[in-house]
Amino acid sequence: MESISLRNIKYSIPDWKDSKVILKDINLQLQQSSVLCIGGQSGQGKSTLLRLIAGLLQPDSGQIFFSGIESKLHEHNALNIALVHKVAFVFQNSALISNLKVFDNVALPIRYHHPDLPSNEVTDRVMQILESMMVDEYKDFFPYAISMGAQRRVAIARALALEPRILLMDEPTSGLDAKNRRSLLALIENQRVLRHASILIATHDLRIAQELNGQIIALHKGVLSEPQFYDDFVESPEGYIRDLVYESSENNDIL
């Protein structure tokens, strides 16, 4: 079963003369309980593609399916995608609410969407999620008081609050040192196995696919390449893919 299926998705933005096509005829399948990484140069539209899937943006045309059910364009909004299709988005900058403590950041979606849930049940659910992401010790901290790596884990914990079946992640390892990167990827893999979740990741860090036993597709000039496992991807003769592999290797060498 495909958790996500995109068919002929097109997206453009207004330009000073006409419009600029960002994505054209995008076709993508994310299998259930699998990991798929989207690589590409900055500005190619990786984050835009995730936002389209999440309902934060509207495609110009095409079809989006979740577990075989089409998300009609007039219903394709972030709230409907999150609640009906069980999709959660993890932003690159974590997007935690600065004046809420870690516990309350994670509790927020539960309290908002389940206002009648007893407080003790909210507490139990939040603490369970925080413990699974190894950030329970920070429950009474404000986001600015914890490290970037801890902020990323809290952001994932918040995304897990409504028990999604699909996780969309934008550059989850960006800016992390090697130790925090390894720790975060291990936690992501644990959540995938525990929840049978499907994970779609936009990233410059192509080795994520290798370490999470997933596949990679490259976004270039509005078009996606065919999915491949890491070892096959890095052997591609395509010049733009070789450039991506080189840049990713350089970044990992720095770490």
pLDDT averages per 10-residue partition of the chain, 255 residues: 92 80 94 96 93 94 93 83 92 95 97 95 98 98 97 98 96 95 96 96 95 96 95 91 84 54
pLDDT score at 203: 96
pLDDT score at 201: 98
pLDDT score at 16: 62
Q: Are 222 and 45 in contact (CB under 8 A)?
A: yes
- Entry pTM: 0.93
- Give the Cβ contact number of residue 183 at 10 Å: 16
Structure tokens at 115: 């206002």
pLDDT score at 251: 66
> If we measure between CA atoms, which residue out of 4, 50, 5 comes closest to residue 159?
50
Alpha carbon distance 42, 244 (integer Å): 10
pLDDT score at 252: 63
Alpha carbon distance 88, 85 (integer Å): 9
pLDDT score at 9: 96
Q: Where are the beta strands (DSSP E) in 102-210?
A: 166-170, 198-202
pLDDT score at 160: 97
CATH number, domain 2-86+164-254, options 1.20.120.80, 3.40.190.10, 3.40.50.300, 3.40.50.10300: 3.40.50.300
- Helix orientation angle between 119-132 and 178-195, rounded to the nearest 10 degrees: 130
Any idea where the domains of the chain sit in the sequence?
2-86+164-254, 97-163
